Copies of this chain bind each other. A is one copy, B any other.
Amino acid sequence: MTAIPDFSAVEAMDAADALRAFRDRFILPDGLIYLDGNSLGVASKAAFAELQQAATQEWGQDLIRSWNTAGWFDMPLTLGDRVGRLIGAAAGQTAVCDTTSINIYKALHAAMALRPDRSVIVSEGGSFPTDLYMAEGVLSTRPGGTLRLEGVDADTIEELIDDSVAVVLVNHVNYKSGELRDMAALTKKAHEHGVLVIWDLCHTAGALPVDLDGADVDFAVGCTYKYLNGGPGAPAFIYAATRHHGDVSQPLSGWWGHARPFAFEKSYAAGKGMLRFLCGTQPILSMRALKGALDIWEEVDMAALREKSLGLTDLFIALVEAKCAAHGLELESPRDRAKRGSQVSFSHPHAYEIMQALIARGVIGDFRAPSTMRFGFTPLYVSYEDVWKSVEILEDILTTGAWKDARFAVRAAVT
């Protein structure tokens, strides 16, 4: 993008936006420009409607009978298939259950059990930390195993892959920089050494097209409360390629994964396919809000989603660099569209205070220590005008020095 658009050009972008009608399906608080959908996606009318139905009718009136009559029992797999469609997974390979962390644990154990004579896990020093903590947890139950990290043990993850490695656990988009990895190329490189790959899709599911089957991926995990808008702490998902279903096992072998869960047998017998990745009783109310959110996704063209995502991030980068150039912001996200997720990060020595000032003015992004301001662009409900206005406010905060107000320096316990 060479010419910097003016406001009328931005209005024209919204007028031409193929996804513009989706915005009305969401609950957008008045006076807020919400650029934090990569942390918690906004609520939708469909999610609220499903939640209401699940609470008042199914729990309130039908009670225990809803396990059958309302499809509660089937939800991990029926919702799994609906998430699967968004990440390039043919039916029967995705389940919705538990948390991303728990699903990483399952996938890592499953992969290592498929490579019993290997003991190395490769991951990224810059990973979202819980991935590394879960890898540590898995290794605590597998004496002799080791964890090799990109940025610590070598510069690139590719250099760490050799025939001693059982599995690579890698983020598709980095949570901090928004950098997108080449899924097909890394998976191919791993497979050449007999290494399995687990992709963490927390920042790509619902953010851009993903093609797990096409890239020959082994396992994947991700959350549903960011770009998928499933609600706070909505259950996560896990994918396992069909070719592994015959042999795969994982130690969180609870009742819901049993081949005959209502026979009350004394010994575990793993159910078929993705069933064996299920464990305990799932939070039905949270899962039903997610079901509502997924109804909207049935109508979304993922190529159009990607085009708008790049349009929004292109515009944000261009406007910030044009209008805020004098204030020391450094782009931390890839300028190259092919390597960019659906977020833009800028660093600044006073990133924390500037973000607090933005939030006080109704522009919600987030801060990641030590110096990153992170802005997520969710194409279903963020407009080009939102981008324009957020940069106007950022420019004002920087120009006036409003961020220097002492109240913006007070750090909450959770950010």
Contact = CB atoms under 8 A, between A and B. Distances in A.
Contacts of A303: none
Given A43-B59, A55-B48, A64-B39, A234 B280 contact: no
A272 interface: no
Interface string A8-41: 0000000000000000000101001010100110
B258 A412 contact: no
A262 B337 CA distance: 29
A186 interface: no
Given A101-B255, A268-B137, A43 B60 contact: yes
Contact of A98 (B102, B262, B359): B102
A42 B60 CA distance: 7
Interface stretch (A124-132, A239-247, A327-335): A124-132
Interface in A75-130: 98-102, 105, 109, 125, 129-130
A318 interface: no
Nearest to A61: B29
Interface string A216-257: 000000010100000111111000000000000111111111
Contact of A267 (B132, B282, B368): B132
A252 B414 CA distance: 22
A2 interface: no
Interface in A194-209: none
Interface stretch (A285-293, A309-317, A382-390, A394-402): A285-293
A140 B285 contact: no
A137 B262 CA distance: 19
Given A130-B254, A281-B233, A264 B102 contact: no
A320 interface: no
Contact of A284 (B66, B233, B281): B233
A404 B401 CA distance: 82
Interface residues of A, number: 92
Nearest to A36: B64
Contacts of A105: 251-252
A267 B129 CA distance: 8
A262 B101 contact: no
A213 interface: no
A353 interface: no
A409 interface: no
A138 B251 contact: yes
20 contacts: A34-B63, A40-B59, A43-B55, A43-B56, A65-B364, A66-B232, A99-B279, A102-B252, A105-B252, A125-B266, A130-B255, A136-B267, A141-B141, A141-B251, A233-B287, A235-B283, A262-B414, A262-B415, A264-B369, A285-B285
Interface of A: 27, 29, 32, 34, 36, 39-40, 42-43, 48, 51, 54-56, 58-68, 72-73, 98-102, 105, 109, 125, 129-130, 132-134, 136-138, 140-142, 149, 152, 223, 225, 231-236, 249-258, 262-268, 279-287, 289, 359, 364, 366, 368-369, 412-415
Given A98-B102, A102-B280, 14 more contacts: A27-B60, A42-B60, A65-B364, A102-B279, A129-B258, A133-B255, A137-B250, A137-B251, A231-B284, A232-B284, A233-B285, A233-B287, A263-B369, A283-B285
